[in-house]
Amino acid sequence: MLRNGFLLTSPLPTTSLINMYSKCNSMTHALTLFNTSSSHHRNVFAYNAIVAGFIANGMSGPALEFYRGMQFSGVTPDKFTFPCVIKACSDVNECLEGRKVHGLVFKFGLEGDVFVGSALVHLYLRFGFIEEAYQVFDELPIRDVVLWNAMINGFAQTGQFGLALEVYKEMGEEGVTPNKFTVTGILSAISMMGDLNSGRAIHGFVVKMGYDSGVAVMNALVDMYGKCKCLRDALKIFEMIPEKDIFSWNSILCVHEQCGDHRGTLGLLDSMLHAGVKPDLVTVTTILPACAHLAALMHGREIHSYMIINGLEKDDGGSFDDVYVKNAVMDMYAKCGSMREAHLVFDKMSYKDVASWNIMIMGYGMHGFGSRALDMFSNMCEAELKPDEVTFVGVLSACSHVGLVSQGQKFLAQMDSLYGVVPTIEHYTCVIDMLGRAGQLEEAYELVSTMPIEASSVVWRAFLAACRLHGNAALAEVPAQQVLELEPEHCGNHVLMSNVYGAVGRYEEVSEVRLTMRQQNVRKDPGCSWIELGDGVHVFVAGDWRHPEDYLIYAGLNSLNAHLYEGGSMPSV
């Protein structure tokens, strides 16, 4: 085109080239072409092409600058300009500029255009101006499915889930047939509401309309069932997706993690890798908490290595995403007991937020390094970061775990006056646990009785556990009565009280507690053990025969028992 002089004869080739470069994600070439073109070729079509290109490539700031340059050059915007400009205003939080654009829309008589109207609806909902959005919506002469989708998605994205559902119902009453984009928008709202019945109704509509062939719709269904805690339904939908993309895998991984199936989450990661799908940032930030819950340090290290190799862990000046990812890695190491590696990640962070410090304080306190936890707290204060409620949960837990009773009481007394953090029930629970561990049961009971917040079942259970630890059956009856009244169905309350009576030889009371459990159908969930090996995490309960190599495991166990007997030791039950 350059060689034959085609770019000199008409503005049309220039506009076509700008569109091509924009859609090929090469805005540098598009911008160079626009800037080097002759001034009379920079008409409304060329400006529309460059503005739309910036929007499509996530560069809303430059798009607005070119729009202003367009006005300065005397080029009149048209109905194709305004939707892009309004979206740019929404993206960069330019509400005032958006209102000015709305004024120009009226000036040029374009207020009835459905695409301009959709953009304005989204803009006003983005800033929470519900009345203005409804006004634009109501005044449009033609309200097609695109406009209804703008309303539904706008409400869903701003947390107005109930209003999104109302608009969806009104859409049906108006006789407008929802499309796939409508379905994904309303499913996102239903997911956040946890409205399973509405979700199943939408699922039925999806099947009826044949939308279940679309990956985006199926992903939205997986997410909806997951957030409604219907793991089996979510997994069933996931398995029906013929071509699973990264969003499909991330959705089902999030579902398993939200439902507490941490072992299943790691198993799905293996399946994802075998399917040839490359994990992204969402994947690893979903997997890391599963590793933390299972203390699967080997898996956590492998994921961290993958992040480093593939550039998912980077330092870009302390952006939210960067800090969030590094905090997730650090939290995994801390909960897996590797404080050395957690501290290495912490030291390499160019910017540390309050959550970063909290993770280190909690980690050191959890693993018995109370003095290190308190040192981290002091360093945090020196760094002029204000502690929050979570910080003091970590500090008080650290004092509890290492027996720093007086220091813990001092922190509780000074939280509000020195740091501006009002003690909550979690902080009082930490101190009651601390006093109980130290054997100061009377002081713990006094704090429970006099604290300004009404004691919850968690507080009484912590006090009951302390009574059990020190064999004080008489005092244990007070918290036992409270927890049984507050949570009669909680198995831990009955078990704790049974153990208290058993420790002091009051076996008749033990029998009564167990009889009460049977009568009220209260069952104790069996505890489990797990071990991390190269091929995954293996979980066992007592007397478990479900493992595929159970005969080898029990053979090894019997061999160990035989050696113990030969050495004169008797295994305890």
Taking CA atoms, 555 is separated from 534, 545, 561, 571, in Å, by 21, 12, 10, 16
Number of domains in the chain: 1
* Domain span at 32: 1-142
Query: Residues with Cβ < 8 Å from 554, sequence gap 6 or more?
Result: none
CB 541 within 8 A of CB 528: yes
SS3 state at 532: strand
Read off the CATH number of the domain in which 23 is found. 1.25.40.10
Alpha-carbon dihedral 119, 122, 127, 133, rounded to 10 degrees: 90
Give CA angle at 165 (160, 169), nearest 5°: 145
What is the CB neighbour count within 10 angstroms for residue 143? 18
Could you tell me the mean pLDDT of each successive run of 10 residues in the chain, 573 residues long?
81 89 90 83 87 91 89 88 91 88 88 86 86 85 84 85 89 89 92 92 92 90 92 93 92 91 90 92 93 91 92 68 89 94 93 94 92 94 92 93 90 91 93 91 91 87 83 78 72 67 66 70 70 78 79 87 82 55
The verdict on residue 469 lying in a domain is no
Q: How many whole angstroms separate alpha carbon 208 and alpha carbon 202?
A: 10
For position 523, what pLDDT does the model report? Answer: 67
Our measurement of the distance from residue 106's CA atom to the centroid of its chain's CA atoms, rounded to an integer in Å, reads 42
3-class DSSP state for residue 10? coil
In-domain check, residue 75: yes
Query: Is 4 contained in some domain?
Result: yes
Structure tokens at 10: 């008409």
Angle between helix 95-107 and 114-126 (nearest 10)? 160
> 22 lies in a domain?
yes
Q: Which helix (H) or strand (E) holds 426?
A: helix 425-437
Return the DSSP state at 543: T
In this structure, is residue 125 part of a structural domain?
yes
Residue with tokens 């009226």: 106
Give a yes or no: residue 493 inside a domain: no
Three-state secondary-structure class, residue 386: coil
In a domain? residue 5: yes
| Residue at 547 is within a domain | no
Gap between the Cα atoms of 406 and 235, Å rounded: 51
pLDDT at 335: 94
